Homo-oligomer: A and B are copies of this chain.
Amino acid sequence: MTMINLDCLFKPESVAVAGISPDPGKWSGGIWIKTLIQLGFAGRIYPVSKSMTEYEGLRVYPDIERVPDNIDLIVICIPARFTPQLMAQCVHKHVKFAQFFTAGFSEVDGHGAALEREVIEIAGRGGLRIVGPNCMGVYCPESRFSWRADFPPEPGVIAFSSQSGTSAVQMVRLAAARGLHFSKVISYGNGADLNEVDFLEYFLADDKSRVIAAYIEGVKDGRRLFQTLRRASQVKPVIVLKAGRSPAGARGALSHTGSMAGSSLVWESMIRQAGAISVGNFEELTDAALAFSCLSSVKGKGVALIGCGGGTGIIGADECEEVGLTLPSLPENAIQALSQFIPREGTGIHNPIDLPWGQTLQQFRETLAIIGSCPDISSLIVHYEVDIFWHIFGGRELEKMIEALISAARDCTKPVIAVLVTSGFPEAASAIQAQQHILLKAGIPVYPTVRRAAWVVSQVSQHRHFPRF
């Protein structure tokens, strides 16, 4: 199995777009052309349509064969019934890649599956590789290629393949809200030609991609996926969200991307055996991608849970132990050292560690230094009740506490994870976004609940060390 070089797909130098409607209210190839222009795509763009001669200041060609250039990628938005003919022309023109926005193939009853086979067969004759049909295709910040102008322009370290286009949008936006960006994203729909395994192999070899994530509804070749997952998981963290695990989910997958989904248990054990990380929804996928892109390893199960507000600490302790972590008691010398400046009343200096509200920054840093040096502690989860803190001490004090955490984490040899707890008021959400950004720049991942932080620490601790490169 040789890796297919997808450089010309993710970073095309020349792009044709077939199927443009003069009606701006209609979703058509015009979306891609406008988006590429808006994003400052550096390659050449060739609209293809019989119904106009100019579009957005670009010359429109009546068919692909008239375009006076080699084409790396064609975006196809014409009705399904015309696609075999277009494929033949593309093969003749030696187009390298085609991504099909066009739907109406194997995901619908009737002749769709036969039409899909026909298109793939024609393309195959000329070595033209297909993404889709029924997909949104490529988003690559580096090449400024996207189907949405509002996707973040900044590149990140996550490579993501998604069978669903809407899910790709959700994932990109969810991740962006957590400060996480992508090297390459591909929405590949029915996956009739190029599929999750091809993208996995390419991402594995891609030095811009440090973490690989995949949303899969169904696969054609389970054995090949398993082998590739196993090989990739030796080198980079690979996170897999398998949808359609339940009978109803599988039914949804069939009508969504024409996928045969397969049973829950088989999938779960296959993903784990391959050494990949199995997640159940996009929230978990984002949580895991964030952890694996920030933390290279967690060396043991012992965690210290630190923060103000006893209730969160106690429930958090329960949640840590529920995901397989332990909260070792602190050794006597650590308790003695902490007792010097943490009062006994209204707080707790065992583990979970319940700090007094209004500890000084120096005390907070010392607290973290003492706990960080305990041998049974492999990671530190520090939680802040942002709303309460904000109301008692104000926003500036919160910023100072975050600065103190960053400085303490810098001196600590163990991973530090921050939890910014809020009730969800918009005002607090803005403050959290700002602080999260600062923490992330310092290599500290941020979670909204102890439960989710504990889950990722457990996941990272179960996987091998992935060196950051």
Chain A positions 153-204 with a Cβ under 8 Å from a chain B Cβ = 162-164, 166-167, 169-170, 173-174, 176-178
**Given contacts A177-B424, A326-B248, A423-B176, is CB(A309)–CB(B352) below 8 Å?**
no
Asked if A208 is at the interface of the complex by the 8 Å CB criterion, the answer is: no
Contacts of A163 in B (CB 8 A): 311
Which of A85-93, A280-288, A370-378 forms part of the interface with chain B?
A: A280-288
Contacts of A385 in B (CB 8 A): 166, 169-170
> Is the CB–CB distance between A249 and B311 below 8 Å?
no
In the complex, the count of this chain's copies comes to 2
Contacts of A244 in B (CB 8 A): 314, 317-318
A308 to B170 alpha-carbon distance, docked (Å): 12
**Given contacts A246-B321, A317-B246, A318-B244, is CB(A310)–CB(B345) below 8 Å?**
no
Which of A51-59, A69-77, A103-111 forms part of the interface with chain B?
A: A103-111
A108 to B342 alpha-carbon distance, docked (Å): 13
Chain A positions 426-450 with a Cβ under 8 Å from a chain B Cβ = 426, 429-430, 433, 449
> Is the CB–CB distance between B351 and A249 below 8 Å?
no
Asked if A465 is at the interface of the complex by the 8 Å CB criterion, the answer is: no
**Given contacts A249-B321, A317-B248, A344-B109, is CB(A426)–CB(B423) below 8 Å?**
no
> Is the CB–CB distance between B310 and A257 below 8 Å?
yes
In the assembled complex, how far is the CB of residue A175 from the closest CB belonging to chain B, in whole angstroms? 8
A309 to B164 alpha-carbon distance, docked (Å): 8
Contacts of A314 in B (CB 8 A): 164, 217, 243-244, 249, 252-253, 256
Contacts of A387 in B (CB 8 A): 169-170, 173
| Partner among B166, B351, B424, B449 whose Cβ is within 8 Å of the Cβ of A311 | B166
> Is the CB–CB distance between B173 and A425 below 8 Å?
yes
Asked if A322 is at the interface of the complex by the 8 Å CB criterion, the answer is: yes
Asked if A313 is at the interface of the complex by the 8 Å CB criterion, the answer is: yes
Chain A positions 211-254 with a Cβ under 8 Å from a chain B Cβ = 215, 217, 241, 243-249, 251-253
| Partner among B281, B308, B429, B451 whose Cβ is within 8 Å of the Cβ of A424 | B429
Asked if A403 is at the interface of the complex by the 8 Å CB criterion, the answer is: no
A286 to B163 alpha-carbon distance, docked (Å): 34
A387 to B172 alpha-carbon distance, docked (Å): 11
Contacts of A326 in B (CB 8 A): 248
| Partner among B280, B344, B423, B426 whose Cβ is within 8 Å of the Cβ of A170 | B423
Asked if A327 is at the interface of the complex by the 8 Å CB criterion, the answer is: yes
Instruction: Name which residue of chain B comes closest to A282, CB basis.
Output: B315
Asked if A366 is at the interface of the complex by the 8 Å CB criterion, the answer is: no
Instruction: Name which residue of chain B comes closest to A251, CB basis.
Output: B350
Instruction: Name which residue of chain B comes closest to A327, CB basis.
Output: B248
A-B contacts besides A255-B349, A281-B451, A426-B426, 12 pairs, CB < 8 Å: A103-B345, A108-B344, A166-B385, A167-B309, A170-B311, A177-B423, A245-B318, A249-B315, A252-B313, A252-B352, A255-B350, A281-B449
Q: List 13 A-B contacts (CB under 8 A).
A: A103-B345, A104-B346, A150-B391, A166-B308, A166-B309, A166-B388, A167-B315, A246-B318, A251-B327, A256-B311, A264-B318, A280-B322, A283-B449
